[in-house]
Structure 1
Amino acid sequence: MRLPLLSSSSALSRAVPRAARIPSLARRASTYPAPAVESKVTTLPNRVRVATEDLPGHFHAVGVYVDAGSRFESARTSGTSHLLDRLAFKSTDKHTDEEMTTLIDQLGSQITCSSSRETIMYQSTVFPQSLELAMSLLSSTILHPNLLPEEIAAQKDAAAYEIREIWAKPELILPEILHTVAFQNNTLGMPLLCPESQLAVLGEKEIRQFMSDWYRPERLVVAGVGMPHEQLCELTEKFFGAASPSSSLDIPSSSLRGASAQPAGAKGFATVSDAPTNLSDDYASLASARALYTGGEQYILKPEEEFVHLYIGFEGLGVHDPDIYALATLQTLLGGGGSFSAGGPGKGMYTRLYTNVLNRYHAVDYCAGFHHCYADSGLFGIAMSVYPQFASSAANIISHQLDTLTRPQKGGITQIELSRAKNMLKSQLVMALESRLTAVEDLGRQTQIHGHKVPVEEMCAKIDALTLDDLHRTATRVLRPSSRTVPLNYGLGSGEATIVAQGQIEALGDVRATIKQWGLGRQN
């Protein structure tokens, strides 16, 4: 399970995280070379998609990406994705639990499962000679799990412990609460962590129905890095080819939920009447449901805590929005982190939240920008942890820092800061792809979202093209939405702030009033 951390959610390549500078990336878009390795996508007869990049190397990375996750859960099924994550690579109709463990050990490499809001990922890095075994294990756990009562009971106990541990750590649970408050009772607001009350409710029947709804061939992408395309297509046909598609028509997918036009090679939408008859009621209501940003407030009193934690966020952009590169650059430009930094300039010490907040106010223990990006919406804002005696200033400092992003002003964004942020963003994007697991996840998720991979050279060129006007305009769209700005995500959201706080919360004062004093949030 992947909890939403405070850095950018990787969704430009899943939305471009923060970066350090590489001088060679300062070149203009016109000087970028053509991609050295072309990605290929093939759709099999049963509509499983296979995507590869034949990058040279001593080992391969392969993954299966299911168009499922917590946004596709209802109040009745909430927590199913979390349990499926934990039940991966247990016994199947082909192997006992012990045999699975032995075979995984024989791979001599990593094999993992993780769930998120919009995808459930099964991934492995393997030596070339073990690729077929890895595909066999992935297919077995995805298509043919036993889900024995003792396995479910054991994983429920493990999940209960995990839930308690995460709820005890503000840096892990508060970003999660931020989502549940921002998108109350719908899609992106459904919890990643299985609610404890659901542990007694969910069983084999509920888990299998969830898999019947969402684990369908047309919702699967098999991605690989390092092997020939034809080889992975043959192995996918062998191990996933027997799965039957739902219908002859496209099924609604989260990948295009935010797209105004259908990208070439990507999936479209079907009406509910096109759906197969063996699906639950949840499928009809959730398959094409758009995220509805509500905003809101939640204050958690914990007077025993050393710090007061405050998160202020606004609705961000979906991954298909053309301004997504500008918003990712704004988060990189904010930067920030903890009060102790062991890094140098390339690790963010010149970002705005370090220079304007952490280096100026010594009662601030942590301050960082966050940017979570999804198919049709997102979250953007600043998180801060302070000593209680300084808490009354926290909302004002955050609001001021957000305000400086929206227009030219004294203390606003400079051209030097913009250039630095763009170089940081590009270098992190490029360096992250040096990891084979990151590269295969990027390939699989982009194939889900766009129907193909957007070349990193194209992303870097779009980042290079950004101007101060682009950043000001995008910040205004997010932080001060109005009838004069381009609507966010079909204009469904409230435009108001999302506020989550924990600790000695009475010391914060009226956070929402402070935000309004700075003119942030929906404008009349």
Structure 2
Amino acid sequence: MTVLPNKLRVVTENSYGHFSSLGVYIDAGSRYESARMSGVSHMLDRMAFKSTESCSAAEMSSAVDSLGGQIVCSSSRESMMYQSSHFNSATPLAMSLMADTVRRPLYLSEEVNMQRDAAAYEIREINTKPEMILPEILHQVAYQSNTIGNPLLCPEDRLAHIDGNLLREFSQTWFRPDRIVIAGAGLSHEELVELADKHFGDLKAPPALEPSQAAKNVLPHLLSPTHIPSPSLYKSLTTAATAFLSPKPIAEPSFSTLASAKARYTGGHLFLHRPDEEFNHVYIAFEGFPINNDDIYTLATIQMLLGGGGSFSAGGPGKGMYSRLYTHVLNHHAQIDHCSAFHHIYSDTSLFGIVGTSYPSMGPDGLVPIMIHQLALLAHGDIPAPELSRAKNQLMSSLVMALESRAVEVEDLGRQVLVHGRKISVQEMCAKVEKVSAADVRRVADEVFGTAARTQPTVLIMGREDAPDWKRSFRQYGVGRDE
């Protein structure tokens, strides 16, 4: 790793082959958006590789095609990623295109208008797919009014307000050299340092600015989801984000306030009444550990122990068919179509839980206790050694196999340096997984979702009916903090 004079970090991974991967990773995402900036990260994603000061949209498109690989931009809650996989000889061109789109975009009004329409269509499509929209709403219920709870997709009612000036303001504020990592795999470190210095070496952080007078009156923050009219909530992620609105506007927070804000898990319960939905959907989640806490390896092992998936699977040996949610839930309840564990990890928090989907013949009142029971077995029961060993082996193999992809390898490198300041090798990760014991599993399970849980659960239900007695089920199985 080399740190340029302006504090931008350049890091490479030794690997060999005909293709190289290159990425620009920026510590900027939806968690840093103020109410006035809500949705900007999503639109920046869509505005990548359009017209710049150096080339027109047609010239940019032609140059991208000439790479002979693929070049992408994606936004997440904690970062923006510009990444390319290409022939080794195309590295200078790839870096030039990414520097152009990051530093010198024009944000032409006709291009912004076109991407508004495309984003509106994208949002409508996602809202028709419960498996895509519900995890987004889950985050908003779990982290109400703050950071990780900010909508990842641009709220529909914000699309019309996002223009070139707003996009430019956000990128100039957050695309600072000390918040940028340039990572490469399959190319020499010296070459990447030289290219990074050429294209980003003169980048400077903007001076601290007070919020403009126009920013004083902004969209209000979110309130408790109990105030949401549930029929309108599911119409779009937009409604899910903005139906919580407080009647009183707030002042625009400063850069330092937004940059240093810690995720504040709130938990909560939300029912989305959808009598026309084919299935009942239930999400149960708890706050886990941040990414720099070694207990995330134990929690990841617990996710593997629970496993799960769909009721119909072409799985076999090595596909997780012996995980608990398959053997204890899906194989015993024909009414349950899907049941699996999830774990979303962030720099200062994580969200761990189970999602279940059932046919109308089993309502949420029947599904919730089954899901909670599986958590209780881990928090209060013993883990057989062969089962724990199998889960750890599956976790380690998934870590190693994922890095077989050059694109995944460079993304992992860039994001790790962005978060940790260094690369945690897969060998180090596997060593920590190997150390996970049955006692660790029980301790962590109890701390996250057992009686020693630090936080209240987050329960999100969508379908024909709610589960009014869900709190009683938690108490019955000794899951979650009882208050």
TM over 0.5: yes
Q: Are 2:69 and 1:109 equivalent residues in the alignment?
A: yes
Instruction: Please say if 1:518 is aligned against 2:470.
Output: no
Amino acid of the structure 1 residue aligned with 2:111: E
d(CA) in 1 for partners of 2:353 and 2:156? 29
SS of equivalent residue, structure 1 residue 114: strand
- In the other structure, the counterpart of 1:395 is 368
For residue 443 of structure 1, what is the amino acid of its counterpart? L
Indicate which of 181, 184, 207 corresponds to 2:141: 181
SS in 1 for 2:372: helix
Match of 1:341 among 281, 298, 313: 313
The answer (yes or no) to whether the contact 2:339–2:357 under 8 Å persists in 1 is yes
Q: Which secondary structure does the structure 2 equivalent of 1:208 belong to?
A: helix
TM-superposed CA distance for 1:50, in Å, is: 0.3
Residue in 2 aligned with 1:302? Answer: 274
**Structure 1 unaligned residues grouped into runs of 5+:** 1-40, 249-279, 488-494
Q: Which residue pairs with 2:289 in the alignment?
A: 317
Q: How does 1:117-516 map to 2 (within 5 A)?
A: 117-246=77-206, 281-391=253-363, 392-408=365-381, 412-480=382-450, 482=452, 495-506=455-466, 508-516=467-475
The sequence identity of aligned pairs, in percent, is 52
* 1:88 maps to 2:74: no
C-alpha offsets along residues 290-346 of structure 1, whole Å, 9 cap, x if unaligned? Answer: 000000111111111111000000111100112110000000111000000101121
- 1:177 counterpart letter in structure 2: I
- Whichever residue aligns with residue 296 of structure 2, its letter is I
Letter of the structure 1 residue corresponding to residue 181 of structure 2 = V
Letter in 2 for 1:514: S
Q: Secondary structure at the match of 1:389?
A: coil
Q: Quote how far apart the aligned CAs of 1:126 are.
A: 1.0
Residue pair 1:70, 1:81 contacting (<8 A) in 2 also:
yes
Q: Which portions of structure 1, spanning 4 or more consecutive aligned residues, are displaced by more than 6 angstroms?
A: none
2:29 alignment partner in structure 1: 69
C-alpha displacement at 1:421, in angstroms? 0.4
- SS of the residue aligned with 1:239? helix
Contact 2:173/2:206 (8 A) holds in 1: no
Residue type of the alignment partner of 2:481? R
CA contact (8 A) 1:47 1:245 kept: no
Which segment is superposed worse, 496-505 or 128-137? 496-505
Q: Kindly indicate whether the alpha-carbon contact (under 8 Å) linking 2:34 and 2:253 is maintained by their aligned counterparts in 1.
A: no
Q: Secondary structure at the match of 1:513?
A: helix
- 1:427-466 CA deviation, whole Å, 9 max, x = no partner? 0000000000000000000001111101111111111111
- Within a 5 Å distance, the mapping from 1:17-96 to structure 2 comes to 41-96=1-56
Q: Which amino acid aligns with 1:44?
A: L
Given the two structures, how large is their TM-score scaled by the length of structure 2?
0.89
Per-residue deviation, 1:393: 1.2
- Identify which range, 388-397 or 435-444, moves more after superposition: 388-397
What SS does the corresponding residue of 1:320 show, helix, strand or coil? Answer: coil
What residue in structure 2 maps to residue 6 of structure 1?
none
One-letter amino acid of the structure 1 residue matched with residue 469 of structure 2: D
Kindly indicate whether the alpha-carbon contact (under 8 Å) linking 2:339 and 2:356 is maintained by their aligned counterparts in 1: yes
Q: What's the secondary structure of 1:423's corresponding residue?
A: helix
Q: Is the 8 A contact 1:110 1:126 kept in 2?
A: yes
3-state SS of 2:361 partner: helix
Contact 2:99 2:199 in 1 (8 A): yes
- Shift of residue 246 of structure 1? 4.8
The 3-state SS of whatever aligns with 1:390 is coil
2: CA distance, partners of 1:505 / 1:229: 58
Inter-partner Cα distance in structure 2 for 1:520 and 1:334 = 16
Contact 1:218 1:246 in 2 (8 A): no
| Distance in 1, Cα, partners of 2:3 & 2:407 | 22
| CA distance in structure 2 between the aligned counterparts of 1:328 and 1:406, rounded to whole angstroms | 15
Cα distance, 1:386 vs. partner?
0.2
Distance 2:276 2:439 in 1: 45
Higher relative contact order by CA 8 Å / sep ≥ 6: 1 or 2?
Answer: 1
Partner of 1:367: helix, strand, or coil?
strand
CA RMSD of aligned residues (A): 1.4
1:328-381 CA distance string (max 9 Å, x none): 000011100000010112111000000000011010000000101000001111
Q: Which amino acid aligns with 2:269?
A: E
**What amino acid is the match of 2:321?**
M
Structure 2 contact 24–414 (Cα < 8 Å) conserved: yes
Distance in 2, Cα, partners of 1:192 & 1:167: 13
Question: What is the distance in 1 between the residues matched to 2:124 and 2:254?
Answer: 28
Amino acid in structure 2 at the alignment position of 1:106:
S
Q: CA deviation at 1:481?
A: 6.2
Normalised TM-score (structure 1): 0.82
| Deviation readout 1:58-112 (Å, 9 max, x if unpaired) | 1100000010001001221110000000000000000100000000011010000
- Structure 1 Cα separation of the partners of residues 167 and 433 of structure 2: 42
1:402 aligned partner, one-letter code: L
Q: Which amino acid aligns with 1:211?
A: S
Whether the aligned pair in 1 keeps the contact of 2:172 and 2:206 (CA below 8 Å) is no
Q: Distance in 1 between matches of 2:112 and 2:471?
A: 43
Mapped partners of 1:296, 1:282: distance in 2: 28
8 A Cα contact 2:376 2:450, kept in partner: no
2:260 partner letter: S
Partner AA of 1:339 in structure 2: S
Question: How far did residue 242 of structure 1 move?
Answer: 1.6
Query: What is the number of equivalent residue pairs in this alignment?
Result: 439
Q: Distance in 2 between matches of 1:175 and 1:458?
A: 30
Please give the alpha-carbon distance, in whole angstroms, between the structure 2 residues aligned to 1:206 and 1:288: 22
2-structure distance, mates of 1:300, 1:78: 23
